[in-house]
Amino acid sequence: MKKQLLTLASLALTGLGAMAQNYYAVRQVGAPADYSLNYSTSVTSIMAPGTTATVSDSLSKALVLPFTFTFYDVQYTHFKVSSSGYITFDTTQTVNQNTNIVIPSASAPKAAIFAFWDNHNFKNLVSGSSTFPSDVRSYTIGTAPNRKFVISWRLAQGGTVGATNVTYFSLRLLEGSNEFEVIHDYGFGTFTATVGCQNANGTVGKQLSGSPNRNFGGPNGSYDAKLSDVYPFKYGVQLAYDMQATEVNIPSFIKTNTIYNLEYTLKNNGSTNITSFRINFLATDGVLKSQNVTGVNVENSGGEYSSIHSEGLSFASTGAKVVKVWADQLNGTNNDQLISNDTLSASTNVMGSSVPKNILHEVFTSSTCPPCKPGNEVLQGVFQQRHGYTVIKYQYNFPGTGDPYYTTEVQSRGAYYGGINSVPRLMVDGQWNSNPNSYTTSIYDDFVEEGFVDIKATQTVDVATQKITLTAKVTPTGAIGGNYKIHFAVVERYTAKNKKSNGETDFYWVMKKMLPDANGTPITLTNTSEQQIVQSYTFPGSYRLPSSAVTSAGAYNGINLVTEHSVEEFNDLMGVVFIQNETNKTVIQSAWTTPNWVASTNEVKMADLGLTVFPNPAVTNFTVKAEKAMNGADVKIYGIDGRVVHTQAISGMESVVECSFLNNGVYYVEITNNGQTSTQKLVIAK
């Protein structure tokens, strides 16, 4: 899959006292795994204004550290917190300083760490029935001797009180070291401040470039821990040359004797800007391949450079392969001064043959979500221009009372992806995680790739007993190692009764049940033998339309999957089968069940109805020819996704059905005549 190439801005640090021991910082993206913005247990409230009062220009009393912390070679046991986004270990200071300046300076707070020093205000914000807490709090993570002490400034409001300019940021002190981390989580609006630290007399200090007008480093919009900007401050001398390979992007599966791009990202941890280097890769079964890169400017202290190696990756033999990537000859002749972190390895599976791959789109949406309507419309627009995809819609329990077709399995699927805190949300093959309003055919095409597992999926539905059976025949094209699960999702192609407040009246591919549940079933793909997996489910009880997904008190109000169901039409059910890597959540193949939709006495072969469909493939139209005159017969054309794309009434011995408006691809023709129904595959090839 292609990815956008970015070069990040400089995080160069400036300061006085160059001959003294000092701190330096190298930016990284993504909050540490043990960090939570909304940590809720064992929290000490330092400043909590409530909804009526406002806290600003305030310095706390002296507080006790959970462990002794060494800062500029001095040990401290107490500290004070400022509402203006800094802490000071000099507890003799009594006046808060809310006007940020360049550091180091004798006029700035002494023995201080500036997480985001500016004039902040704190006041809880109320929107409708929701209250968003604004406070300064502290808590400790972990156990001795590896604890992290966190001070968080939550919903800090710049300028006037309100939601125009708000930030969430934190500071973490690391036990057993003199190191700390500044974390910029997210915010709304525009903000600038001073970020850095200085010693006890204001003679030695470090600040991030741009201070005292440095832009906030976290992402704008909803919180995503993977996008938080983190600045680890280390005490000592920064290496001049330290180029680290941080990402190697190659497909998980490739085909023998086929050239693939090798994408890589390098990070400059050193104090020197890098203008040239040599990029190398060494692959199993391969030889060393090197490329000189010149005319670049990879900024010091965290700047990144991404590109594609000029020589493609190719293997003649099948099996698991490893590729090692590193940079050397920095700025001409300089060696990397920290070899332990300069090389990154990536693995791939080389396969002898491939099959077409369907791209899975998992959409978290709701009929109470205003942006979900345009998001689903954007998706429909993309799908109309492409083929080779599958879709599952998970109707969610917010905003407000949420979609009435929300289920506990929807919640489980959201939790699998780390929790869904905003809708609409689109996962593409388990990887692209964003708002579908920004989805395009170009992004879709980035996911178009070869498949290396074949899934042939079929279904039967017994309307009388409310039972559906999905069958998947799975055949890898080569041995695939790893931790995989196969999932079966039962979706209703079209629903309408769950419409609520966002203006949507038509809903497609709504998930009703996962078989056996949302956890899926482990599957081994280490040999090329066909495996057949069958999952059946009988929907219990009768249909119920909940008034909401949750009650006004927030309690679950959705369908009880043990006693009832929300299926509007059983003859409108179909299945989506997909295989997912449990380690990195990549979906390696998906498939619709073939539209043998209703297993009943009415389902017969086309020939048994005396019908012939030709030509097939078709271009602009096709003909339905009957042995006996038809009277009031109906033709429906379904896309491979099961969505009806055309309906036409036919009669007589021979009728022409228009299909010039359809894109190239596979469709299904369903003909109902005298109460009998038959389905046949149709190919459009213009």
- Phi and psi for 412 in degrees, rounded to 5? -65, -40
Q: Which helix (H) or strand (E) holds 148?
A: strand 148-158
Lowest mean pLDDT among 64-73, 299-308, 492-501, 676-685: 676-685
251 and 321 housed in the same domain = yes
pLDDT at 608: 76
The 3 state secondary structure assigned to 504-518 is CCCEEEEEEEEECCC
The CA distance from 450 to 353, in Å, is 9
Higher-pLDDT residue of 623, 610:
623
What CATH code is carried by the domain that includes residue 491? 2.60.40.10
Domain boundary among 351, 376, 392: 351
CATH number at residue 627: 2.60.40.3080
Q: What is the largest CA-CA distance in the chain?
A: 101
Residues 43 and 83 placed together within one structural domain of the fold: yes
In a domain, 427, yes or no: yes
Is residue 423 predicted with pLDDT exceeding 60? yes
Map tokens 């900007």 to a residue.
229
Q: Which two tokens stand for residue 433?
A: 């995680």
Provide the pLDDT confidence category of residue 610 given band limits of 50, 70 and 90: confident
Mean pLDDT of 568-592: 94
User: 588 with 254: CB under 8 angstroms?
Assistant: no
Q: Is residue 275 part of a domain?
A: yes
Residue 1 belongs to some domain of the structure: no
Q: Dump the DSSP string for 441-464.
A: HHHHHHT---BSEEEEEEEEEETT
User: Does some domain include residue 481?
Assistant: yes
Sign of the dihedral defined by the CA atoms of residues 145, 168, 438, 486, in that order: positive
Question: Rounded CA gap, 41 and 472, in Å?
Answer: 45
Say yes or no: 375 and 343 in one domain.
Answer: no
Backbone phi, psi, residue 342, to 5°: -85, -15
Give dist(CA 426, CA 421) in Å, integer.
12
* Domain closes at, from 219, 235, 251: 235
Regarding whether 211 and 176 lie in a shared domain, the answer is: yes
Q: What is the DSSP letter of 239?
A: P
Structure tokens at 535: 């999952």
Question: Quick check: is 200 in a domain?
Answer: yes
Q: Is the pLDDT of residue 251 over 70?
A: yes
Same domain, 381 and 313: no
Residue 91: pLDDT band (50, 70, 90) is very high
pLDDT value at 8 more than 60 = no
DSSP 32-88: -TT--TT--SSPEEEE--TTT--EES-BPPPEEEEEEEEETTEEEEEEEEBTTSEEE
For 358-385, what is the mean pLDDT? 94
Task: Tell whether omega for the bond before 516 is within 30 degrees of 0, i.e. cis.
Answer: yes
Domain count along the chain: 4
Is the pLDDT at 641 greater than 90? The verdict is no
pLDDT above 60 for 598: no
Indicate if the pLDDT at residue 15 is higher than 90. Answer: no
384 residue type, one letter: Q
469 inside domain: yes
Residues 445 and 521 in one domain: yes
User: Does the model's pTM come out above 0.85?
Assistant: no
Answer yes or no: do 111 and 140 share one domain. Answer: yes
Task: For residue 294, give its domain range.
Answer: 243-351
Report residue 87's pLDDT band, with 50, 70 and 90 as the boundaries. very high
Q: Which of 463, 516, 442 is nearest to 485 (CA)?
A: 516
% helix / strand / coil in the chain, to the nearest 5? 5, 45, 45
Residue 23, exposed/middle/buried by CB under 10 A (0-12, 13-18, 19+)?
buried
Q: What's the confidence (pLDDT) of residue 665?
A: 78
Give the C-alpha separation, 637 to 266, whole Å. Answer: 50
73 and 179: one domain? yes
How far is Cα 229 from Cα 67, in angstroms, rounded to an integer? 26
Looking at the structure, tell me whether residues 292 and 227 fall in a common domain: no
Residue 594 has a pLDDT of 67
pLDDT at 595: 56
pLDDT at 147 exceeding the cut of 90: yes
Please state, for a pLDDT cut of 90, what percent of the chain lies above it: 71
Q: Are residues 364 and 372 in contact, defined by beta-carbon separation less than 8 angstroms?
A: no
Q: Is residue 6 part of a domain?
A: no
Quick check: is 334 in a domain?
yes
